[in-house]
Amino acid sequence: MKKLTLCILMFLFLFGFSGCSAKPLQEINMHIDSLYTADMGDLELSGLLIYSDNGEMYLDISTPDELKGLSFSYSDNFTIGYNGLNAVSESGYLPDSSFAQSIKNSLDDALLTKPQPVKTDGKKYTATAKGNSGCYKIHTDEKGNIIEIEIIGADVKLKLEN
């Protein structure tokens, strides 16, 4: 009986210290396909943001009404559109501090440098780095999905609805 009790206690002891603790987040999931709300200074924006694992990005603006229909697409070229009228240019056409370019620069930097996220509060992780548009923070959930992007250099704070 003592052997059985000792075996059970040893099993419980080993089980308590093996594999039951949360693993630290290793990598940010860079794929985004989400509605967003954003603040850039005093301007409040909303729309759709799509970012692929290979650095292609599409961003459109649905509010405020004055900017509704404005879109930015980054793939081989840069395309800016407004209600179906598109103009194609080279990437980097917009200043680094502009709304769309600052988001693109920060996501591209995170894709290349893979900053290590650190647990901040609750189930939230934060990775901090510096890109072409200045310092930025990417906040993720415990699975590595991006939930918020702060670009300090461009005064942009973007929240994803996922």
* pLDDT confidence of residue 50: 98
For residue 95, the model assigns a pLDDT of 92
Instruction: Specify which residues 63 forms β-bridges with.
Output: 46
- Go through the domains of the chain in sequence order and give each one's CATH number: 24-160 (2.50.20.10)
pLDDT digits (tens, 9 = 90+) for 62-84: 999 999 999 999 998 899 999 98
Q: Which residues of the chain have pLDDT under 50?
A: 4, 6-7, 9, 11-12, 14-15, 17-21
pLDDT digits (tens, 9 = 90+) for 139-151: 999 999 999 999 9
* Residue spans of beta strands (DSSP E) within 20-121: 32-40, 43-51, 57-63, 70-74, 78-82, 85-89, 118-121
